[in-house]
Amino acid sequence: MPFEIRMPQLGLTMEKGTVVEWLVHEGDRIEPNQEICEIETDKVSVAVEAPQGGIVARILVHDGEEAPVGGVLAIGVELDEKLVDDLDLASPGKEKAAEQEPALVYEPPSLGLTKESDAVRASWKARAIARSADLDLKMITGSGPKGRIVAEDVFKLRARLQQKKETKAVISPTSAVRARAMPLAAKLSDSLGLDLSQVRGSGPNGQITQDDVIQAAAAIIRGETKTRSRLVSRPARVTTTVPIAGVRKIVSERMGISARTTARVTLFREANVTALIELREKFKAHGLNVSYNDIFIRLCALSLREYPNVNARMGEGQIDILDQVNIGLSVDTDRGLLVPVVHNADRLTIPQIAAETQRLVGAARNQRILPDDMDGGTFTITNLGMLGVEGFTPVINLPECCILGVGKIVRKPVVVDNKDRVMVRPMMTLSLVFDHRVIDGAPAARFFDRIVQLTEDPALLLSM
Task: List, for residues 335-388, the tens digit of each pLDDT value.
Answer: 788 999 999 999 999 999 999 999 999 998 887 888 889 899 999 999 999 999
What are the two backbone dihedrals, phi and then psi, of residue 161, each rounded to the nearest 5 degrees?
A: -65, -40
Is the pLDDT at 102 greater than 80, yes or no?
no
What are the two backbone dihedrals, phi and then psi, of residue 314, each rounded to the nearest 5 degrees?
A: -80, 120
Task: List, for residues 393-440, the tens digit of each pLDDT value.
Answer: 999 999 999 999 999 999 999 998 888 999 999 999 999 999 999 999
CATH number of the domain encompassing residue 199: 4.10.320.10
Tell me, yes or no, whether 145 lies in a domain.
Answer: no
Supply the range of the domain harboring residue 353.
246-463
User: 230 falls in which pLDDT band (50, 70, 90)?
Assistant: low
Q: Which of 7, 27, 8, 19 is nearest to 83 (CA)?
A: 27
User: 173 falls in which pLDDT band (50, 70, 90)?
Assistant: very low
Is residue 205 located within the same domain as residue 84?
no
Is residue 392 located within the same domain as residue 258?
yes
Q: Which helix (H) or strand (E) holds 433?
A: strand 422-435
Is residue 181 located within the same domain as residue 271?
no
Tell me, yes or no, whether 14 lies in a domain.
Answer: yes
Is residue 177 located within the same domain as residue 111?
no
Tell me, yes or no, whether 127 lies in a domain.
Answer: no
Whole-structure pTM value: 0.66
pLDDT of residue 226: 60
Tell me, yes or no, whether 240 lies in a domain.
Answer: no
Task: List, for residues 273-304, the tens digit of each pLDDT value.
Answer: 999 999 999 999 999 999 999 999 999 999 99
Is residue 320 located within the same domain as residue 435?
yes
Largest CA distance in the chain: 95
Is residue 419 located within the same domain as residue 333?
yes
User: 126 falls in which pLDDT band (50, 70, 90)?
Assistant: confident
Can you give the length of the chain in residues?
Answer: 464
Tell me, yes or no, whether 392 lies in a domain.
Answer: yes
Q: How many domains does the chain have?
A: 3
From CA 101, how far away is CA 135, in angstroms rounded? 38
Is residue 458 located within the same domain as residue 369?
yes
CATH number of the domain encompassing residue 332: 3.30.559.10
Is residue 176 located within the same domain as residue 209?
yes
Is residue 453 located within the same domain as residue 317?
yes
Tell me, yes or no, whether 234 lies in a domain.
Answer: no
Domain boundary among 119, 152, 179: 119
445 versus 124: the higher-pLDDT residue is 445
Is residue 90 located within the same domain as residue 191?
no
337 versus 98: the higher-pLDDT residue is 337
Is residue 273 located within the same domain as residue 209?
no
CATH number of the domain encompassing residue 106: 2.40.50.100
What are the two backbone dihedrals, phi and then psi, of residue 92, each rounded to the nearest 5 degrees?
A: -55, 135
Is residue 417 located within the same domain as residue 327?
yes
Q: Which of 54, 57, 53, 52 is nearest to 107 (CA)?
A: 57
Report the DSSP pairing between strands 331-333 and 29-30.
unpaired
Average pLDDT on 110-123 reads 51
Tell me, yes or no, whether 76 lies in a domain.
Answer: yes
Burial of 449 (0-12, 13-18, 19+ CB in 10 A): middle
Tell me, yes or no, whether 230 lies in a domain.
Answer: no
